[in-house]
Homo-oligomer: A and B are copies of this chain.
Amino acid sequence: MFRNRMPRYEVLSQDAMATLDKGWRRLVSELGVEFMSQRALDLLGAAGQKIEGDKVFFDPDWILEQVAKAPREFDLQARNPAHDLHIGGDAMAFGAVYGPPFVREGQVRRDATMEDFRNFTKLAQSFPTLDSAGGVICEPNDAPLDSRHLDMTYALATLTDKPFMGNVVSGPNAIDTIELTSILLGGGQGREAGRARMEQTPALISLINCNSPLRWDDRMLDSLFEYAEANQAVVLTPFILMGAMSPVTIPAALVQQIAEALTGIALAQTIRPGCPVVFGSFLSNIDMQSGSPTFGTPESGMGLLCTGQIARHFGLPFRSGGTLTSSQVPDAQAGYEALMTLLPTFLAGTNWVMHSAGWLEGGLVAGYEKFIVDIELLQMMHAEFTPLEIDEASLAFGAHEEVGAGGHFLGAMHTMERFRTCFYRPLLSSSENYERWMRNGGNDAAARATKIYQDKLASYEQPPLDEAIREEMEEFVVRRRKELGD
């Protein structure tokens, strides 16, 4: 997996950080945070926090005590150990887009289906740059609603051998996800063996969103309880579109984000001290004229840079970034907005990056072509964020002696020895001269991406899986689907 050994780009002064620190303390203690779950309220009350109705007024120092119980870094296991991940430190892990109800292929925009879900999962498996397919890579609208989580988890478990995200629609869904994953990780020794392995090292990482501002909803919290109790990683994420879910000033959004993420993390640590958590951030803004969400904005880039610094301040791994865009199609806007988010994602050293491939139209659409654009961006970032090795040999004095003033280095010995690997080789980008490009069809990046994803799907190879395990998972899915009445 990728380790970001480049410097972090830090933009907050110590004074600024102190002001933000005062801000979140005031929010959690004076205004409080709502938890729409009696279990959560009982637990937080028993831990000494003041409860009024659904609202919890926190002692900020108590929050920091809980935060200190969380691991600074942790491992996440895959069924294929070659795909085990590390979350935190200089490690960066990347998952595909999460949540879109629609897909776009070429000129067609339509409802996403289970077939699309499987296709995107296969694509995520096929590109080494992606560490995970993510979770709800698109919403399979043709699968029965109540048992859809089973179909998705089964697909993620069988079509990839990388870690994946847990379903968070309800507590029972979370339990199903954990059960299926324990079968998968049992290694033929049964579900209990798998469960024990998961206790040791988490295999699932799940997204728990805050209903910003300052409210944690019941279904997400039910899922949080299940995953935290099972020692599975949770990403506590304020969902903030500035101007709608937070005030319009970035500092206010940052303070709110800290208050929300830390109260969620404090709850997780109260449920199970030491369970793996991630400081989550999903921070962008709305267009103040239309109210539409906007992505890849300067404000979101700035927010991302600050978030990294804040998470490190609290000693927590963090999630943010991706290849977000508001664009409806994989055009120039989609290209620059995606990088407007992804480059700061790397500058900030983000540990867990959802929405790294396929995000289109404000997250409503999973785009096949956009997926390929984003893989190219990820690959380029991996190359750019690899520190230079600067030593005597890298200066290639001998090549200059060989070539001389005004010459060219194409045939130099130094070049011959390195030409295959010296520069990043693009997946999608074209530098063909105009005549050759026209002869090859004059295709723009989107048109070329169509061919790339189709070829990739055609050459997809399913990772091997013990047939007994697959059968046990299938039986589980069939049984649970029946129980759920689908």
Interface residues of A (CB under 8 A from B): 6-7, 9-12, 15-16, 19-20, 23, 26-27, 31-34, 55, 109, 211, 213-215, 242-252, 255-256, 285, 287-299, 301-302, 306, 326-340, 343, 347, 361-362, 364, 373, 376-377, 380-381, 383-384, 387-392, 394-397, 399-401, 403-410, 412, 414-415, 418-420, 422-426, 428-434, 437, 442, 444-446, 449
The 9 tightest CB contacts between A and B, nearest first, are A335-B335, A332-B335, A298-B384, A247-B396, A298-B383, A326-B431, A335-B336, A252-B396, A331-B444
Question: A247, A415, A419 — which one has the most chain B CB atoms within 10 A of its CB?
Answer: A247
User: Residues of B contacting A392 with CB < 8 Å?
Assistant: 19
Report the Cα distance A214→B396, complex, angstroms.
14
Chain B residues with CB under 8 Å of A373's CB are: 332, 336
User: Can you sample 8 A-B contacts with CB below 8 Å?
Assistant: A12-B388, A12-B390, A16-B390, A243-B409, A245-B408, A288-B419, A336-B373, A340-B380
Cα distance A230–B267 in the bound complex, in angstroms? 71
Q: A31-B401, A242-B423, A332-B373 are known contacts. Are A380 and B338 too (CB-CB below 8 A)?
A: no
Please give me the residue from chain B that is nearest to A250 by CB atom.
B388
> A159–B332 Cα gap in the complex (Å)?
29
Copy number in the complex reads 2
Q: Are A405 and B244 in contact (CB under 8 A)?
A: no
Complex interface: chain B residues within 8 A of A214 (CB): 400, 404-406
Complex: A392 Cα to B408 Cα, angstroms: 59
Bound together, the chains give a CA A406 to CA B11 distance in angstroms of 30
Asked whether, in the complex, the Cβ of A388 is within 8 Å of the Cβ of B9, the reply is no
Which chain B positions have C-beta within 8 A of A297?
380, 423-424
Chain B residues near A380 (CB-CB < 8 A): 297-298, 340
CB proximity of A338 to chain B, nearest CB, Å: 7
A422 to B250, CA, bound (A): 9
Chain B proximity of A154: nearest CB distance (Å) = 31
Give the docked Cα–Cα distance between A397 and B285 (Å): 19
| Further contacts, 20 of them, CB under 8 A, given A7-B11, A249-B396, A302-B388 | A6-B11, A11-B388, A19-B390, A19-B395, A32-B405, A214-B404, A248-B396, A248-B409, A248-B414, A251-B391, A287-B431, A288-B420, A289-B425, A293-B431, A294-B426, A294-B431, A328-B430, A328-B442, A331-B446, A333-B429
In the assembled complex, the Cα of A105 lies from the Cα of B362 at a distance in Å of: 29
Please tell me if the beta carbons of A249 and B394 are within 8 angstroms of each other in the complex. yes
Q: What is the chain B residue whose CB lies nearest that of A416?
A: B248
Asked if A414 and B247 make an inter-chain contact with CB atoms under 8 angstroms apart, the answer reads yes
- What separation, in Å, do the CA atoms of A383 and B244 have in the docked complex? 20
B327 and A430 within 8 A (CB): yes
Taking CB atoms, residues of chain B closer than 8 Å to A244 are 408-410
Whole-angstrom distance between the alpha carbons of A32 and B215 in the complex?
A: 69
Are A33's CB and B252's CB within 8 A? no
List B contacts of A330 (CB < 8 A).
332
Residue of chain B at shortest CB distance from A438: B328
What distance in Å separates the Cβ of A466 from its nearest Cβ neighbour in chain B?
40
Inter-chain CA distance A406–B384, complex, in Å, is: 41
Inter-chain CA distance A256–B384, complex, in Å, is 21
Is there an interface contact between A395 and B290, defined as CB atoms closer than 8 Å?
no
B251 touches A434 (CB 8 A): no
Chain B residue at smallest Cβ distance from A428:
B333
